[in-house]
Amino acid sequence: MSLKQCEGSRAVAEAVALCRPEVICAYPISPQTHIVEALGEMVKSGELQPCEFINVESEFAAMSVAIGASAAGARAYTATASQGLLFMVEAVYNAAGLGLPIVMTVANRAIGAPINIWNDHSDSMSQRDCGWIQLFAETNQEALDLHIQAFRLGEELSLPVMVCMDGFILTHAYERVDMPTQEQVDAFLPPFVPRQVLDPDEPVSIGAMVGPEAFTEVRYLAHAKQMQALELIPQQAAEFRKIFARDSGGLVRPYRCEDAETIVVALGSVLGTIKDVVDEMRAEGHRIGVLGVVSFRPFPLAAVRDALQAARRVVVLEKSLAVGIGGIVSTDVRMALSGLPLPTRTVIAGLGGRAITKASLHKLLRQAQQDELEQLTFLDLDGKLIERHLLREKQMRRSGPLAENILRDVGVVAARIA
Amino acid sequence: MFQVRIHGRGGQGVVSGAEMLSIAAFLQGNYAQAFPSFGSERTGAPVVAFCRIADREIRLREPVMQPDALIIQDPTLLHQVDVFGGLQQDGYVLINTSRSFEALGIGEIATGRRAERLCTVPASELALQHVGRPLPNAALLGGFAALSGMIDLASVAAAVREKFSGKVADGNIAAATAAYDFVQRKMQEAAHVAQAM
């Protein structure tokens, strides 16, 4: 292994290259990442071979090409984010339904409208039911480690895996990573032996139409496979630890949850900031901890319940919003806790790149400790802006476009730091 | 933990500056984290980038709001953006200009602060001279090494070599070295004046 200081996207690109992908397809404009840019360079220079890099004409084509490549027995990889993920959705479902072990990085970003290029989890959350395994990285180290695990996991189950890493916050951050050697990755990740393959010598078709006579059974098996993943993910994390000598992946990751009265549940890079806040609050005597959910699909109901059941309250902090109900992750957490008298609060935070600060978390979690949080809280919501707009709507029928109005109310933002 | 905020404009290498600073700190055995302010980058628009340096893993992901050091790549931002927002009382300030704090109209910033931590350096001119383009980021890191001692010049040079190669790297290292010498000389002069007083 070798320590290096590099951008998250670069680290992931190098890790993907160590996994010996045979086909990489990507649509090379925004919202794309530096990951495929770096991989493209590696393929061109001959550093990564045998591998074909296919510049496709859209994200829909990217996933379609990945499906074709995977069905032909090639280890296939792509990356996307935001609207790019939405544009490939039909093919995303097909990749899962066909059981093709494609690995895709989602550099988590918001989806429009309003147009927003910044980080939150709306994009991959919109695909939570698509049948892909979804793993969330806390750091760039974990992001690169999860890609190595994703290929093995996906290929073992014949299921596609999405590795979700916070766009910008991780993808554009320079930090220290421990880059594995080719020997280590080869020891962990065997060559791809597909369960199904398009082979001219033994022709099969993949993708039959299935009517009411068996559709439920096919769907049931998709669910059963994800349940198998619940077993496999911790096993793989343990084997990963043996070869790479560090903890990465797994289903959930508790931090200072022993004897905690309040446990925060979150996904992704915000866990780091929350851990700092937990340490500071612990030093003041607050009994608080945080549970990171690494595997969001499959959702580890039992592991989440185990980790939370001794607490007195749970705060689910999520970077996505299910409009019309509130939390997405919290709905799943509540299911994990069903039957337990454990109040669970939803906090929507960090939407569209709004910074989640320690100061705001301190305030929020102190309120939580006092049982003063509402069912649903929007962190750092600017109430005045909301009131002003609601008043405008009340006062005139033709109140105008929402986003434009709000921006006018906010004024110049270029002078602000955060 | 030591936190640095770099202000500049799109096209001046603000983000690369923070990244190179993180590499230099890493090369000296530290943990470091660099990230941009995630605006939609446009040439000439105000850009902010951050760098944290610590002796243990950095988990915090919020923007740097109380910097221990400010590097200002473009002095025209001084009256446009709240660049000094949250600056620690004993913080470092390095501004890319040939003018003084007073001449820039920010003399009041020095009040109550440690004079030996405030400095200006004509980084764009040095870059123009050594690189052929007025891209001040590497030169400012050289100046920052002299001002703060948080990183040394050799690490700055090594960080530049990770980002650039050939003549561009050589030029940037020369500019960083010139800025390092400039800031060191200026600080020595200031120390002499302080002794004489």
Cα(A170)–Cα(A160) distance, integer angstroms? 22
> Residue A415 and residue B82: Cβ atoms within 8 Å?
yes
Question: Shortest CB distance from A270 goes to which of B22, B32, B61?
Answer: B61
Q: Using a CB-CB distance cutoff of 8 angstroms, which residues of chain A are in contact with residue B48?
A: 417
List domains and CATH numbers for chain B.
2-95+103-196 (3.40.920.10)
Model confidence at B41, pLDDT cuts 50, 70, 90, reads low
> Residue B34 and residue A417: Cβ atoms within 8 Å?
no
Q: How many CB pairs under 8 A join A and B?
A: 86
- Prediction pTM value: 0.96
**Which residues, other chains included, contact A262 with Cβ-Cβ below 8 Å and sequence gap of 6+?**
A286, A287, A288, A289, A311, A312, A313, A314, A315, A365, A368, A369
Please state, in angstroms and as integers, the Cα–Cα distance from residue A141 to each residue in A177, A249, A311, following that order.
Answer: 5, 11, 30
pLDDT at B79 over 90: no
Q: Per the structure block, which two tokens stand in for A275?
A: 């851990």
Q: Using a CB-CB distance cutoff of 8 angstroms, which residues of chain A are in contact with residue B46?
A: 414-415
Model confidence at B192, pLDDT cuts 50, 70, 90, reads confident
pLDDT at B70 over 90: yes
Q: What is the pLDDT of residue A416?
A: 63
- Write down the mean pLDDT value for chain B: 94
Q: What is the pLDDT of residue A119?
A: 96
Q: What is the pLDDT of residue A417?
A: 61
SS3 B189: helix
> Residue A119 and residue B38: Cβ atoms within 8 Å?
yes
- Low-confidence stretches of chain A (pLDDT < 50) are none
List domains and CATH numbers for chain A.
2-244 (3.40.50.970), 252-378 (3.40.50.920), 386-418 (no CATH)
Q: Choose from A33, A176, A278 for mutation: most chain B CBs within 10 A.
A: A176
Question: Shortest CB distance from B19 goes to which of A174, A272, A353?
Answer: A174
Question: Shortest CB distance from B65 goes to which of A119, A168, A417?
Answer: A417
Q: Choose from B7, B62, B72 for mutation: most chain A CBs within 10 A.
A: B62
Q: Using a CB-CB distance cutoff of 8 angstroms, which residues of chain B are in contact with residue A358?
A: 60, 62
Nearest CA in chain A to B83: A417
Cα(A347)–Cα(A373) distance, integer angstroms? 9
Side-by-side strand order, sheet with A252-255? A252-255, A288-293, A262-266, A313-318, A344-348, A376-378
Average pLDDT (B18-47) is: 91
> Residue A168 and residue B38: Cβ atoms within 8 Å?
yes
Chain B residues within 8 angstroms (CB to CB) of chain A:
5, 18-19, 22-23, 26-27, 31-38, 40, 45-46, 48, 58-63, 65, 80-82, 85-86
Q: How far A392 CA sits from the closest chain B CA (Å)?
A: 29
> Residue B22 and residue A174: Cβ atoms within 8 Å?
yes
Cα(A80)–Cα(A30) distance, integer angstroms? 9
Give buried/exposed letters for A33-66 (b at 16+ CB in 10 A, else e).
bbbbbbbbebbeeeebeebebbebeebbbbbbbb
What's the DSSP call for residue A326? Answer: B
Cα(A104)–Cα(A124) distance, integer angstroms? 11
Residue showing tokens 């993708």:
A207
Q: How far B56 CA sits from the closest chain A CA (Å)?
A: 11
Q: What is the pLDDT of residue B191?
A: 82
> Residue B18 and residue A169: Cβ atoms within 8 Å?
no
Q: How far B67 CA sits from the closest chain A CA (Å)?
A: 11
Nearest CA in chain B to A168: B38
Q: Using a CB-CB distance cutoff of 8 angstroms, which residues of chain B are in contact with residue A117?
A: 40
Nearest CA in chain A to B84: A417
Cα(B77)–Cα(A170) distance, integer angstroms? 28
Q: Using a CB-CB distance cutoff of 8 angstroms, which residues of chain B are in contact with residue A269?
A: 61
Cα(B11)–Cα(B8) distance, integer angstroms? 9
Cα(B9)–Cα(A414) distance, integer angstroms? 11
H-only helix segments in A158-249: 182-188, 215-244
Q: Per the structure block, which two tokens stand in for A114?
A: 């309003």
Cα(B147)–Cα(B128) distance, integer angstroms? 22
Question: Shortest CB distance from B60 goes to which of A174, A276, A418?
Answer: A276
Q: How far A142 CA sits from the closest chain B CA (Å)?
A: 13
Counting DSSP H helices and E strands in chain A, the numbers are 15, 15
**ipTM (interface pTM):** 0.95
> Residue B22 and residue A270: Cβ atoms within 8 Å?
no
Cα(A52)–Cα(A39) distance, integer angstroms? 10
The DSSP H or E segment spanning A332 is helix A329-336
Question: Shortest CB distance from B33 goes to which of A4, A175, A417?
Answer: A175
Model confidence at B109, pLDDT cuts 50, 70, 90, reads confident
CB atoms within 10 A of CB A129: 10
> Residue A272 and residue B60: Cβ atoms within 8 Å?
yes
Give buried/exposed letters for A300-327 (b at 16+ CB in 10 A, else e).
bbebbbebbeebebbbbbbbbbbeeebb
